[in-house]
Chains A and B, each alone.
Chain A
Amino acid sequence: MNERRTESERLSEFERGAKQAFDASVRELDAATRQRLVQARERALANAGGARFGLKWSWSLAPGGALAVAALVALLLVALHQRPTQLGPGQFAGDLEILLGQEDLAMLDEDIEFYSWLEDQPELAPAGTNGDGVG
């Protein structure tokens, strides 16, 4: 019994340590990153009434990544005609769709599936309470 409690205490200690390490890593974020997050938030709020599939600023595509993707697709199309490939036509089309897609595939069914599930759920427990005592 004593051993069980000790194990449980060790687990709690581990969980506390993990949380503290994460919190410290958040506090360490540099000013430039924080500034970019502020800009991202402002863009999100400004985009609130925007078109669902409209263009938006992208940090990762900003330096010309879109051009690189277009070039890659062109290369792929040429290469497909010039050499045999292990990629099936279906997989190739799927890959292209993922590479070129601006919207997330997982998001397409999110609203319908998720909200039908959400509606069936009971009221959320108040923030800060842990339903099962785990963690």
Chain B
Amino acid sequence: MGLGLSIAHDGFAKRLAEEHTLESRVAIEAFLREVETRAFRIALMNVRDRDEALDIVQDSMIRLVRSYSRRPSEEWRPLFYRILQNRIRDVQRRRSVRSRVLSFFGGIEGEEYDPLVTAPGPAADNPLDRVLAHDAMQALEQALSILPARQREAFTMRNFEGLDVAQTALAMNCTEGSVKTHYSRAVHRLRELLREHGEEHWHERATD
């Protein structure tokens, strides 16, 4: 009798665990679906290579699912963006090492990576407003590429991704005060940079 109860209890516990796993899987899949395109766009903006950007997003997803899926779901977003930013930095570091190694052979000395050369172009059949929005984003991306990395990260997470200050601090592994400073400097510097290139025109295109 005792043995029967124990087996029944084990079966019930196993079913509960399975249901919980399924529930978690559904929840994390929904989260990944929600962030994947935005994360890809952010990665692409930083590394300017579609395949590498896809790798970064995929690795970040794997890392989140493996290591943090049991954490409360409200922590997933800052965790995911922290992982994403780490992966972006790794790719950039690898790229600079690769370029150093290649320059060792004397082949590409002086050749510098030009983001404009590899920037994705608009699809030919895009309507005018898409082209205008694309131009605005391209101007913003160029301005962003000039910012220090921490300012760029703060702006990306706060503005593009809508993380609040606490979440951004979590994602950037710094204090909330630092987030506010980085973000504020980023906004002012971006405005200056875009004003130099005609902010009014930029703004019209961005909000069209």
Q: Which residues of A contact B (CB under 8 A)?
A: 10-11, 13-22, 24-26, 28-30, 33-34, 36-38, 40-41, 43-45, 47-48, 50, 52, 56-62, 72, 75-76, 79, 85-87, 95, 98-99, 104-107, 110-111, 113-114, 117-118, 121, 124-132, 134-135
B115-155 residues with Cβ-Cβ distance < 8 A to A are 122-123, 126, 130, 133-134, 136-137, 140, 155
* Chain B contact residue count (CB 8 A cutoff): 80
Q: Is the CB of B62 within 8 A of A44?
A: yes
Min CB gap B157→A, angstroms: 10
CB distance from B17 to the nearest CB of A (A): 14
The dominant DSSP class at the A interface is: helix
Complex CA gap A30/B44 in Å reads 14
7 additional A-B residue pairs with CB within 8 Å, beyond A14-B199, A37-B54 = A19-B160, A25-B41, A45-B28, A47-B62, A57-B58, A124-B166, A125-B166
Given contacts A14-B187, A132-B176, contact A45 B36 (CB under 8 A): no
Interchain nearest-CB distance for A129 vs B (Å): 6
Q: Compute how far the CA of A47 lies from the CA of B175 in the bound complex, rounded to whole angstroms.
A: 33
What's the least CB distance linking B138 to chain A, in Å?
A: 9
A-B contacts, 24 listed (Cβ < 8 Å): A10-B191, A24-B133, A25-B41, A28-B134, A29-B37, A33-B50, A37-B54, A38-B36, A41-B36, A43-B62, A44-B61, A45-B25, A59-B50, A60-B54, A75-B105, A79-B104, A95-B100, A105-B90, A105-B93, A106-B89, A110-B86, A114-B82, A117-B173, A135-B159
Question: Which B residues lie within 8 Å of A58 (CB)?
Answer: 55
A127 close to B63 (CB less than 8 A)? no
Given the known A-B contacts A17-B206, A48-B65, A130-B165, are A104 and B86 also in contact in the complex, defined by CB atoms under 8 Å?
yes
In the complex, what residues of A have CB within 8 A of residue B130's CB?
A: 24, 28
Q: Give every chain B residue within 8 A of A57 (Cβ-Cβ).
A: 58
Complex Cα distance A44/B133, Å? 32
Of the candidates A13, A28, A44, the one whose C-beta lies within 8 Å of that of B58 is: A44
- Cα A127 to Cα B55 in complex, Å, equals 28
Q: Is A29 within 8 A of B90, CB to CB? A: no
* Bound complex: CA A90 to CA B43 (Å): 30
CB contact between B36 and one of A10, A25, A37 (< 8 Å): that residue: A37
Q: Contact at A14–B180, with CB atoms within 8 Å?
A: no
Shortest Cβ-Cβ A-B pairs, 4 listed: A44-B61, A40-B58, A17-B206, A24-B133
Q: Residue B101 at the A interface, CB < 8 A?
A: yes
